[in-house]
Chain A
Amino acid sequence: MLRIDNLRKTFDVPSDQRGRGRATASAQLAAIDDVSLEIHEGEMFTFLGPSGCGKTTTLRSIAGLERPDSGEIRLSERVLFSRGRGRDREVPVNRRGLGMVFQSYAIWPHLSVFDNVAFPLQVMPRRDRPKKKVIEERVMRVLATMELDAFAGRSATKLSGGQQQRLALARALVTEPPLLLLDEPLSNLDAKLRESLRFELKRLQHEIGITSIYVTHDQVEALALSSRIAVMSKGQVAQVGAPRDIYTHPESKFVAEFIGNSNFLPATAVESGNGTAIVETPQGRLEVAVDRPLDATASYLIGIRPESVEVLAAETAPAAGNGFSGTVAARSYLGEAVDHIVDIGGYEMRARVNPSVSFPAGTAVRLRIDPATISLIPTEGASR
């Protein structure tokens, strides 16, 4: 539905931000570095990554607010942007006909709720512009969908955070655009409101069925909302996949780390069978679940989530089973869980366990890890 090909964009970074009459040297910074993606009809597609990874720049390039240096953006058969591949084309931002929800919501404070939503219809080219009455009907209909019809005459600045989000959505949807762009719309809200609005957003997207692109740096938000996720790093796409895929099969240390892994051990295959494999790590052998046999000559990195590590008292637990023996180095109480740092032969492994389990520092413990929860990340020389 939306296709992005080889998009690139560099920014000039002035070394001296302001300076009347002073020379400003500038450096180049690649914001998007060869990004290619395809987004399907009806998807909720998320760009996920830390700040500065190029996710917002990519979104703004789709909207037409940034001009990439090269590459192509197509919406269905329509070329929105093309540069450096034959004939250059660019549809100006105000003719792309997309809907967008901004980080700050960008609700115009001098207009009423009704006028904010009516604006996109009122500024249409004269020949496409609906009649006044039709505009009123359409605005009221979308306001009703968002449960804002009671506030139509009210000043837009008097709305609560959640209402403002729905207003921004109503404004983005009133023209029934083929694609909805959402730029971190939940990041300005407090944690509680964020959670409830996340569900709200998911419900609305599902009901309306509109193809959406969502930008966020919050992996929980991305996992909860998306049909597919593109994890981005340093202007490039690190991995694309469904939330479960990304979570269980990160393809690089960066993705694994960003999605919540914090224990990493280098590993090589010792025995590789159907479904499971034994790998050798500096801390000992470990059983790992695999979907296909491992390459015996390659090296891997295994990623283990703190919450998949079980901590047992060494005296009671058998030394056998999948895992390591070690000593508790430190623990910290987090309320809903207890974090243990366990020293296993020189490596400090983090384990997050139920608060009913708690060992003081110095206790000898046994760590047990379910083979299915270990992610295997190929490093150099390994085929995927």
Chain B
Amino acid sequence: MLQQRYTEERSAGQLVRRVLSPKNVIVFLAILIIGYLVLTPAIYLFIATFFSGGAFTLDAFRRAYGTSGLDSMVLSSIVFTVGATVLALALGTALAYITVRTNVPFRSLIVATSLVPLIVPGLLYTIAWVMVASPNVGIANQIGNALTGGPWFDIFSMPGMIWVEGTHNVPLVYLFMFVAFRAMDPSLEESALVNGATRATMLRRITIPLMRPALAAAALVVGVKTLGSFEVPTLLGVPGGIFVFVSRIYYVMSDFPYDTAAAGALSIGLVVLAILGTWALNRMQGDGKQYATVTGKGFRPAALDLGRWKWPVAIGVLVYFLVTTALPLFVMAYNSLLPHFQAISIRAMSEFTLQNYVDLFENPIFARSVGNSLLLAVGTATAIMVLTAVAAWVVVRGRRRSRKLVDQLTFIPMVFPGLVIGLAVSFVYLRNPLPIAVYGTLLILLIAYMTNFLPYGMRYAMSSLQQISAELEESSAVAGASWWQTWTRIVLPLMFPGLMAGWIYLLIVAVRELGSSILLYSPGNEVIAVLIFQMYEEGELVDISALGVVLVVFLSLIVALVHKFGSRVGIRL
């Protein structure tokens, strides 16, 4: 009986059933949606830039790059990106090394505090630094004004931009390097010492070269993020007359009549720069497998004895956290209690009031944008994790051709900064290819967010699937389960903790997102970050402070809850 069932000639019906199997349908749909999300913005950006009235033209490039100050913009972009990336890499790597490999005091405290800045959105962090170090009103400059009659710091400068962007990205580098140092076999360092190397030689010749793949990976993530950073160049660079690609694009797009083609030309230049950087770093990263430093074994952390440097290092680290984390948060909390922005003084403290918070919760736009942000964040996180669960499966287990296709498709958004995605998505939905209204609705933001954050979701989904041995799926197939049964009963349950971790990460980044929202929101569809940006432009610093405190507390609560309950289901952030 079995024999007959399976050896019959393939009929047309069987063929249709085979082609339309759940596996093929689901994989095809996922690739289709990802392809649509990734390729439509790229294609429309290209068309809007190179074609005018149906004819090919380079006019947009002439308008965009012909204006004076081109070299200084390109130079500023590179200086800003390289400067902030190097700063973040140096600080993040040093912190990771100190906490993983030395006997510095308060180690666990340092680990915890070095991750706190992750929770503070970049926009709030930037605004906090304006409050700290703007030449006119900056609280830190009041000391200089009083002592030497002039400000000591100017945040509206290239060093100011590099400082703020760089220090904000330190936790990202820290996470990469923390994992890399943890996984490194300490005996590799020890054998250098045994063979007569000094500690300095060991660091230079052994430790740093071994960390090269991890460093390159961290540099890639931070560098691309910095190049596409919106808040720092716009808030700190523009007032000082320093333009980079992103702020120039925003500037072009906020000047009526909009020269969308010129903005497109600038965007393409920016993407090319990002591709070049990615390519260079990929080469530096090498195979990644050439050094078998990661053996999956837990090493006994052989702490490097800092000796008499123990306390100076600890104090240095502590001061660093006071300056980069505690100071901005403190300034924000302080100002949220004041009726108007002012210097720190005893008199000011007597005016403390909760009125800003009352105003905030009575502001209908605040309530609306919180609702929008949450809706978008939950929608984006859910949609991306569902899509990337399938996409990751195709990349990790699929056939060679589809694996490559999906891998490359999901990587493309990495080189498109948020603002460029916003611009490109606006091009798409001005000539809406979909049968439903998108422009001027929350849907356009959802689409932009999904494109923007797809690579992040992919990273979580891939790493969770890579931890699941292929034999677990094969044994299910041998046991008689269909693809769908294996997928729902084995693969998804095993991937679930990793998918949840990705979901929460996306939730947090989506709530913070400004770059891709700023060109796409419309009245009624504001999100939190856009509201903060508008308030900043109107100079409502104390109201922003109140909002910032609420937002940071809210995001901290999410992270704390996940930390507390997540470990039960195996979620690690």
Cβ of B309 < 8 Å from any Cβ of A? no
Interface positions of B from 454 to 496, Cβ below 8 Å from A: 469, 471-472, 474-482, 485, 489-490, 493-494
Cβ-defined contact, B494 with A94, below 8 A: no
Query: Which residue of B289, B477, B478, B494 has the most chain A CB atoms within 10 A of its CB atom?
Result: B478
Q: Encode contact with B along A81-115: 1 for CB under 8 Å, 0 otherwise.
A: 00000010101011111111011101011100000
Who on chain A is nearest to B479 by CB? A120
Once the chains are docked, how many angstroms separate the CA of A317 from the CA of B477? Answer: 65
Cβ-defined contact, B480 with A21, below 8 A: no
Who on chain A is nearest to B411 by CB? A20
Once the chains are docked, how many angstroms separate the CA of A108 from the CA of B478? Answer: 13
Point out the residues of chain A lying under 8 angstroms from B493, CB to CB.
110
Who on chain B is nearest to A119 by CB? B479
Once the chains are docked, how many angstroms separate the CA of A17 from the CA of B289? Answer: 10
Whole-angstrom distance between the Cβ of B20 and the nearest chain A Cβ: 15
Once the chains are docked, how many angstroms separate the CA of A171 from the CA of B287? Answer: 39
Cβ-defined contact, A106 with B480, below 8 A: no
Contacts A17-B289, A123-B489; is A77 near B3 (CB within 8 Å)?
Answer: yes
Cβ of B408 < 8 Å from any Cβ of A? yes
Residue of A18, A104, A109 near B494 (CB, 8 A) is: A109
Cβ of B7 < 8 Å from any Cβ of A? yes
Interface positions of A from 104 to 152, Cβ below 8 Å from B: 104, 106, 108-110, 119-120, 123-124
Point out the residues of chain A lying under 8 angstroms from B2, CB to CB.
78, 97
Contacts A102-B475, A108-B490; is A17 near B480 (CB within 8 Å)?
Answer: no
Cβ-defined contact, B478 with A18, below 8 A: no
Cβ of B282 < 8 Å from any Cβ of A? yes
Point out the residues of chain B lying under 8 angstroms from A123, CB to CB.
476, 479-482, 485, 489
Whole-angstrom distance between the Cβ of A11 and the nearest chain B Cβ: 11
Residue of B407, B471, B482 near A94 (CB, 8 A) is: B482
Cβ of B56 < 8 Å from any Cβ of A? no
Q: Encode contact with A along B487-509: 1 for CB under 8 Å, 0 otherwise.
A: 00110011000000000000000
Contacts A89-B7, A119-B489; is A65 near B478 (CB within 8 Å)?
Answer: yes
Cβ of A63 < 8 Å from any Cβ of B? yes
Whole-angstrom distance between the Cβ of B10 and the nearest chain A Cβ: 9
Once the chains are docked, how many angstroms separate the CA of A163 from the CA of B481? Answer: 24
The main secondary structure of chain A at its interface with chain B is loop
Point out the residues of chain A lying under 8 angstroms from B256, CB to CB.
none
Cβ of B6 < 8 Å from any Cβ of A? yes
Who on chain A is nearest to B289 by CB? A17
Cβ-defined contact, B494 with A119, below 8 A: no
Cβ of A175 < 8 Å from any Cβ of B? yes
Whole-angstrom distance between the Cβ of A34 and the nearest chain B Cβ: 24
Cβ of A79 < 8 Å from any Cβ of B? yes
Point out the residues of chain A lying under 8 angstroms from B407, CB to CB.
20
Point out the residues of chain A lying under 8 angstroms from B478, CB to CB.
63-65, 93-94, 96, 98-100, 181
Who on chain B is nearest to A96 by CB? B478
Query: Which residue of A94, A98, A175 has the most chain B CB atoms within 10 A of its CB atom?
Result: A94
Once the chains are docked, how many angstroms separate the CA of A17 from the CA of B493? Answer: 29
Once the chains are docked, how many angstroms separate the CA of A63 from the CA of B480? Answer: 11
Interface positions of A from 8 to 22, Cβ below 8 Å from B: 12, 17-18, 20-21
Contacts A18-B287, A78-B2, A109-B494; is A97 near B480 (CB within 8 Å)?
Answer: yes
Cβ-defined contact, B475 with A106, below 8 A: yes
Whole-angstrom distance between the Cβ of B200 and the nearest chain A Cβ: 34
Whole-angstrom distance between the Cβ of A214 and the nearest chain B Cβ: 16
Whole-angstrom distance between the Cβ of A264 and the nearest chain B Cβ: 37
Contacts A20-B408, A109-B494; is A104 near B469 (CB within 8 Å)?
Answer: yes
Chain B contributes a number of interface residues (CB within 8 A of A) equal to 30
Whole-angstrom distance between the Cβ of B496 and the nearest chain A Cβ: 8
The main secondary structure of chain B at its interface with chain A is helix
Cβ-defined contact, B3 with A78, below 8 A: yes
Query: Which residue of B400, B476, B479 has the most chain A CB atoms within 10 A of its CB atom?
Result: B479
Contacts A106-B474, A108-B472; is A175 near B480 (CB within 8 Å)?
Answer: yes
Residue of A97, A99, A119 near B481 (CB, 8 A) is: A119
Cβ-defined contact, A94 with B475, below 8 A: no
Chain A contributes a number of interface residues (CB within 8 A of B) equal to 36
Q: Encode contact with A along B1-28: 1 for CB under 8 Å, 0 otherwise.
A: 0110011010000000000000000000
Who on chain A is nearest to B4 by CB? A78
Interface positions of A from 48 to 91, Cβ below 8 Å from B: 63-65, 77-79, 87, 89, 91
Cβ-defined contact, B6 with A95, below 8 A: yes
Contacts A17-B287, A20-B282, A20-B411; is A102 near B474 (CB within 8 Å)?
Answer: yes
Residue of B7, B411, B490 near A79 (CB, 8 A) is: B7
Once the chains are docked, how many angstroms separate the CA of A263 from the CA of B282? Answer: 52
Residue of B6, B408, B477, B489 near A93 (CB, 8 A) is: B477
Cβ-defined contact, B477 with A65, below 8 A: yes
Who on chain B is nearest to A60 by CB? B474
Who on chain B is nearest to A102 by CB? B471
Whole-angstrom distance between the Cβ of B82 and the nearest chain A Cβ: 23
Once the chains are docked, how many angstroms separate the CA of A95 from the CA of B407? Answer: 31
Contacts A20-B408, A78-B2, A119-B489; is A94 near B472 (CB within 8 Å)?
Answer: no
Whole-angstrom distance between the Cβ of A136 and the nearest chain B Cβ: 17
Once the chains are docked, how many angstroms separate the CA of A102 from the CA of B475? Answer: 7
Q: Encode contact with A along B257-293: 1 for CB under 8 Å, 0 otherwise.
A: 0000000000000000000000000100001110000
Cβ-defined contact, B476 with A119, below 8 A: yes
Once the chains are docked, how many angstroms separate the CA of A181 from the CA of B478? Answer: 10
Once the chains are docked, how many angstroms separate the CA of A252 from the CA of B455? Answer: 55
Whole-angstrom distance between the Cβ of A101 and the nearest chain B Cβ: 9
Who on chain A is nearest to B493 by CB? A110
Who on chain A is nearest to B5 by CB? A95
Once the chains are docked, how many angstroms separate the CA of A93 from the CA of B473? Answer: 12
Residue of B3, B289, B469, B479 near A171 (CB, 8 A) is: B479
Who on chain A is nearest to B6 by CB? A91
Point out the residues of chain B lying under 8 angstroms from A99, CB to CB.
478
Point out the residues of chain A lying under 8 angstroms from B475, CB to CB.
100, 102, 106, 108, 171
Cβ-defined contact, B480 with A95, below 8 A: yes
Point out the residues of chain B lying under 8 angstroms from A18, CB to CB.
287-288
Point out the residues of chain A lying under 8 angstroms from B282, CB to CB.
20
Point out the residues of chain B lying under 8 angstroms from A171, CB to CB.
475, 479
Cβ-defined contact, A65 with B287, below 8 A: no
Whole-angstrom distance between the Cβ of A177 and the nearest chain B Cβ: 9
Point out the residues of chain B lying under 8 angstroms from A65, CB to CB.
474, 477-478
Point out the residues of chain B lying under 8 angstroms from A87, CB to CB.
9
Once the chains are docked, how many angstroms separate the CA of A119 from the CA of B478? Answer: 11
Once the chains are docked, how many angstroms separate the CA of A379 from the CA of B482? Answer: 50
Once the chains are docked, how many angstroms separate the CA of A65 from the CA of B470? Answer: 11
Once the chains are docked, how many angstroms separate the CA of A102 from the CA of B473? Answer: 11
Once the chains are docked, how many angstroms separate the CA of A111 from the CA of B472? Answer: 12
Who on chain B is nearest to A79 by CB? B7
Once the chains are docked, how many angstroms separate the CA of A89 from the CA of B3? Answer: 12
Whole-angstrom distance between the Cβ of B537 and the nearest chain A Cβ: 40
A65-B478, A108-B476, A120-B481 given; 12 more Cβ-contact pairs under 8 Å: A21-B408, A65-B474, A65-B477, A78-B7, A87-B9, A89-B7, A94-B477, A97-B480, A98-B478, A100-B478, A108-B475, A123-B489
Chain B interface (Cβ < 8 Å from any Cβ of A): 2-3, 6-7, 9, 282, 287-289, 400, 407-408, 411, 469, 471-472, 474-482, 485, 489-490, 493-494
Closest 3 CB pairs of A and B: A106-B475, A120-B479, A106-B471
A-B contact pairs, 10 of them (CB 8 A): A20-B411, A77-B3, A79-B7, A89-B7, A94-B478, A100-B478, A106-B472, A108-B490, A119-B479, A123-B480
